[in-house]
Amino acid sequence: MTHAPLLSLILWLPIGSLILVLLLPSSQKNIFRHIALFTTLIQAIGMGLALTQRWANTPVEQLGWVRLKLGSLGILSVDYLVGIDGLNIGLLLLSILILAVGVIASWRITRYTKAYFSLYLLMDTLIMGSFFALDFLLFYIFFEATLLPIYFFISVWGGPQRTQAATKFLLYNLLGTVIILMVLVGLGISVYDPVATGLHVGLLAPGEQPSAEQINTIQSLVQAHKLSPQDIVHSFNIQCMTHAQNFVPESMLGLHDNPFMGGRAARLVAFLALVVGFLIKLAAIPFHGWLPDAHVEAPTPISMILAAILLKIGGYGLLRIAYNIFPEGAVYYAFGLGVLGGCAILYGALAAMAMQDLKKMIAYASIAHMGFVLLGFASLTHEGIQGALYQMISHGIITTLLFGLVGVLQDRTEDRKIEHYSGLATRMPYYTVITVVSFFAALGLPGFSSFMAELLVLIGVFQSLVLPQWMGMAGIIGILLNATYLVWTIQRVFWGDFTVYRPSWQSALKDLHVREYILFIPLLLLTLLLGVCPQLLSDLIADSTQQLATRVHTVGRENLNTILP
């Protein structure tokens, strides 16, 4: 095991903290908050160490976990397999940052404090596990389990319509996970691990580092039906799933036997199923219905995490699983995904323009920003995919800022209506400055991280061989619409004479507290830093996105020529 304990310590530390919280009496409210904050800080230190190790050798930890005999189907092996690379490192760093910010934003939670921070620590591990996992079944367990803490956060600590919002959130996302589960089962039956199979039949010695020739020999024996099906070790290892030679001959999702489902190649159907499942999590058009209600009813810290991190698991799943395992599907459905991305950009921006609730406005803005992610993926270019990944990280920082700033008004007046405020700059000047700059960051002005992200996506779209250039124009129009509603909100809420809906709010509307400065200023500086020095992030992700784009173009087109009649 390389760098044996480090990644697992980062992943499972919150569970240890959770056990400590459960053992303490419920009256120790401040201790729960400090334990959660201390946990995220230790995780940040651990990720710093993992980053330094990454340059020497990508940290990967692997242990045998489950091994089941399936009779005539062979043996099923599930590994505890976690690691970091360019596809997940930025999202892992984002997750730790936002989880720490979420603890600070949760400082004012006073109801069921022990239960809240217990669920929070559980959610921490589930989020980190979703990004760390390199075994599909392990990823699926973490991915699906994230639904439970969010459901309870909304239904217990949410707003007046929390029950309906939590139920809609759970049912929508359960549908997505069930669709993904069907593909997971098909891959488990279809894919085998050549190394584990070689060890089982005695072609490899325990502890031996197999050579490429030895692995090729095992694959040739399996493809030639010279190994008994009962001796084949099936695997959920995502790396194994990326090679066509690791699919059992005549299997459900094999490449060379060209099986069909409903008149379409089974691998294309499987890719489409994964896309639908992950798009529900991403809240992409037309699967976005759960998102605005969930944001409006969720407490502010959970709205931050929901938009900044949990949406990104859907985008990450598309890259790590759908695009890696079925690159031919990425080529075949590129135009359709591009159309969805363009529609999301325009629809999200237009819907945000119509919102009077600040939280709903930001929620629909998130749908528009996730449209840029889809558009970048669909371009199948290095620039587009890199820009999409950059956009997920940039949006995570900025949307956390925006929800936190809306939470300031919510805490002081229990109201979020745009029309209920005017001239706040005269009463809350520092709050106004930070909010206006954050809005400028959200609309993608040069110097902010969102500008670099959207620029890379648009470059990728205009260079794409599979998308028409009018899709790039849809992105540009979306940016203009985005600027329209953000600037209108600034003018309505902050400029002019000071008036509020209720006279009693005047005394409550005081400027930012120290805790709020600690919350907002580092996030604002970070989005500026990533806008001015984009190489800090792009250097971490560029190699992996380049490899993925190259794989989709070469392997994807080769596979497509093989499976299409």
CA distance 565 to 561: 8
* pTM for the whole structure: 0.93
Residue 272, pLDDT score: 95
**Cα angle at 89 between 87 and 95, to 5 degrees?**
115
Radius of gyration of the chain measured on its C-alpha atoms: 24
pLDDT over threshold 80, residue 1: no
pLDDT over threshold 90, residue 564: no
What percentage of residues in the chain have a pLDDT greater than 70? Answer: 97
pLDDT over threshold 90, residue 144: yes
Confidence band (pLDDT; 50, 70, 90) for 305? very high
pLDDT over threshold 70, residue 131: yes
Residue 296, pLDDT score: 85
Confidence band (pLDDT; 50, 70, 90) for 262? low
Residue 39, pLDDT score: 96
**DSSP assignment string, 339-407:** HHHHHHHHHHHHHHHH--BHHHHHHHHHHHHHHHHHHHHHHTSHHHHHHHHHHHHHHHHHHHHHHHHHH
Give the closest residue to 413 by CA, choosing from 474, 327, 478, 504.
504
Residue 55, pLDDT score: 47
Report, as an integer, the average pLDDT of 356-364. 91
Q: Per-domain residue ranges for the chain?
A: 336-532
Q: Which amino acid appears at position 34 of this protein? A: H
Residue 126 · residue 95 · CB < 8 Å: no
Report, as an integer, the average pLDDT of 119-148. 96
pLDDT over threshold 70, residue 4: no
Residue 59 · residue 2 · CB < 8 Å: yes
CA distance 153 to 297: 10
Token output for 66: 């489950």
Report, as an integer, the average pLDDT of 476-504. 90
Q: Give residue-wise pLDDT tens across range 150-181.
A: 999 999 998 888 899 999 999 999 999 999 99
CA distance 498 to 237: 60
Residue 379 · residue 460 · CB < 8 Å: yes
Q: Which amino acid appears at position 542 of this protein? A: A
Residue 98, pLDDT score: 95
Residue 520 · residue 512 · CB < 8 Å: yes
CA distance 35 to 33: 6
Report, as an integer, the average pLDDT of 127-153. 95
pLDDT over threshold 50, residue 102: yes
Average confidence score pLDDT of the chain: 91
Phi and psi for 79 in degrees, rounded to 5? -105, 145
Q: Give residue-wise pLDDT tens across range 51-96.
A: 876 544 557 888 888 888 888 888 999 999 999 988 999 999 999 9
Residue 27, pLDDT score: 83
pLDDT over threshold 80, residue 47: yes
Residue 184, pLDDT score: 95
Confidence band (pLDDT; 50, 70, 90) for 205? confident
Residue 195, pLDDT score: 92
CA 236 to chain centroid: 20
**β-bridge mates for residue 422, sequence order:** 499
Residue 71, pLDDT score: 83
Q: Give residue-wise pLDDT tens across range 440-450.
A: 999 889 999 99
Give the closest residue to 218 by CA, choosing from 209, 208, 207, 210.
210
Q: DSSP class of residue 133?
A: B
